[in-house]
């Protein structure tokens, strides 16, 4: 198993909640589960700690990082900034074919909204946001976005929406597509910022923070 694969596997376990926030990570157990020795696992844990997914306690091992409300707010703020930047850049660089692709996904998303199929709706939603990032053509941006959004993904794409809020989100997405079609970078960045700000308020209101000092759950 390659180094990047180990990192990926453990990262997935953290993001999926298979290792719950705040849980201690006993090296021996994880080694056994992944069928590797401690050396490559420890390398992966250090990388994940640098990403903010793992918290290292000197001489006391590592735990899955826990997101506070403040962390969530900070991550959403940065995400806003990155999406706004991506929106501007995307309008300069996106091709007609790519816009058409986004339009198609958008149409599908609207249909799922009509069916009130939240799961499919979120799937299209995420595809659209990622397409805008990709269209910016900036791998540094893509990398940071991936790392930031991964940490808030569950909150972002699981939080249920009120009918009122959902309708507004769809409306905002209409504006997003429109700005993209008109290649209105400034407009798009404003809409994206507002869109994310609303999402953040929603998530924070739902109380998605991961701050329960109890629940000393171990990684099964």
Instruction: Name the residues that contact a second copy, by CB under 8 A.
Output: 2-3, 7, 39, 42-44, 46-47, 50-52, 56, 58, 71, 74-75, 77-78, 80-82, 84-85, 89, 138-141, 143-144, 148
Please give the Cα distance from 112 to 128 (Å, whole number). 14
Using CB distances below 5 to 8 A depending on partner kind, what does residue 140 bind out of a second copy, DNA, none? a second copy
Rounded-to-10 torsion of CA 154, 156, 159, 161: -160
Exactly one of 12, 17, 42, 158 binds DNA (CB under 7 A); which one?
42
**Number of Cβ within a 10 Å radius of residue 132:** 23
Q: Tell me the CA distances in angstroms from 40 to 49, 51, 118, 174, 214, one per residue in order.
A: 14, 17, 39, 47, 30
Q: Does 8 bind DNA (CB under 7 A)?
A: no
Cβ nearer to a second copy, comparing 58 with 163: 58
Cβ nearer to a second copy, comparing 99 with 136: 136
Binders in 61-90 for DNA, by CB under 7 A: 61-62
**Number of Cβ within a 10 Å radius of residue 96:** 8
Exactly one of 40, 52, 81, 137 binds DNA (CB under 7 A); which one?
40
Nearest alpha-carbon partner for 147 in 27, 34, 47, 23: 47
Using CB distances below 5 to 8 A depending on partner kind, what does residue 37 bind out of DNA, a second copy, none? DNA
Which residues touch 76 (CB under 8 Å, ≥6 apart)?
Answer: 152, 196, 197, 199, 200, 203
Q: Does 36 bind DNA (CB under 7 A)?
A: yes
**Number of Cβ within a 10 Å radius of residue 144:** 17
Using CB distances below 5 to 8 A depending on partner kind, what does residue 60 bind out of DNA, a second copy, none? DNA
Using CB distances below 5 to 8 A depending on partner kind, what does residue 75 bind out of a second copy, DNA, none? a second copy
Contacts with DNA by CB under 7 A lie at: 1-3, 24-28, 36-40, 42-43, 56-62
């Amino acid at each position: 198993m390659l180094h990047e694969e180990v990192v990926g596997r453990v990262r997935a376990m953290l993001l999926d909640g298979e290792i719950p926030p705040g849980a201690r990570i006993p090296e021996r157990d994880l080694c056994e589960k992944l069928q590797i020795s401690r050396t490559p696992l420890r390398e992966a844990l250090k990388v994940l700690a640098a990403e903010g997914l793992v918290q290292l306690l000197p001489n006391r091992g590592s735990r899955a990082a826990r997101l506070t409300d403040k962390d969530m707010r900070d991550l959403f703020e940065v995400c806003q900034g990155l999406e706004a930047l991506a929106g501007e850049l995307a309008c300069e660089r996106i091709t007609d074919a790519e816009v058409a692709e986004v339009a198609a996904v958008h149409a599908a998303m609207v249909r799922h909204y009509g069916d009130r199929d939240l799961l499919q709706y979120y799937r299209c939603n995420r595809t659209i946001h990622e397409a805008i990032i990709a269209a910016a053509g900036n791998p540094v941006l893509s990398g940071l976005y991936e790392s930031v959004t991964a940490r808030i993904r569950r909150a972002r794409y699981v939080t249920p929406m009120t009918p009122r809020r959902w309708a507004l989100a769809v409306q905002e997405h209409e504006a997003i597509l429109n700005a993209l079609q008109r290649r209105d970078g400034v407009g798009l960045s404003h809409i994206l910022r507002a869109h994310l700000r609303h999402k953040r308020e929603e998530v924070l209101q739902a109380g998605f923070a991961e701050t329960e000092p109890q629940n000393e759950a171990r990684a099964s």
